[in-house]
Amino acid sequence: MTSEAVHAEVSWRKAVAHLKEAAAQDADASPMAVIHSSYYAMFHAARAVLFKATGGAPKRHDSVIQQFGLLARDLDEAMRASGRAFNAAKDDRNAADYDEAVLSSPEDAHESLRSARDFLTVRDARHGFGLSLSRDS
């Protein structure tokens, strides 16, 4: 297995782990934790896709989002929608973590988790990571 393939697999496993962490949280009691973990699921899934598609992936969040967006823009609408969802997840996570004027709600958390599940499901179907996502994640 090439180092790029190993990096893609490890990044994907991290994505699945973060998705499971988000799903295990109580959105009513810990909405910011759900939003945070949901974003990180998407971040690591995007890195896995970049490793698989281009042979490399940056570590900085804005750079990952930018490169994923460049990859997505030339593909079909599902891929472009994934790029938009990833960018929105970053904004939601930043607001939850850093914006004093924002208090995340359970509804925000449920939406973040749905978005992360959809992102990983579409990416797994498209890029064939072969690491199943259970219904519980």
Helix (H) or strand (E) holding 85: helix 77-98
pLDDT in tens, 80-110: 888 889 999 999 999 988 999 989 999 999 9
Full-model pTM: 0.91
Two tokens at 50?
A: 């970049």
Contact indicator for 39, 79 with CB cutoff of 8 Å: no
- Of 47, 41, 9, the C-alpha closest to 25 is 41
With H, G, I as helix, E, B as strand and everything else as coil, classify residue 23.
Answer: helix
Confidence band, pLDDT 50/70/90 cuts, at residue 56: very high
CATH entry, 3-127, from 3.30.720.210, 1.10.260.30, 1.20.120.330, 3.40.50.720: 1.20.120.330
Look at residue 58 in the predicted model and tell me its pLDDT.
95
* Residue in the structure block whose two tokens are 């490890």: 10
Two tokens at 20?
A: 């499971």
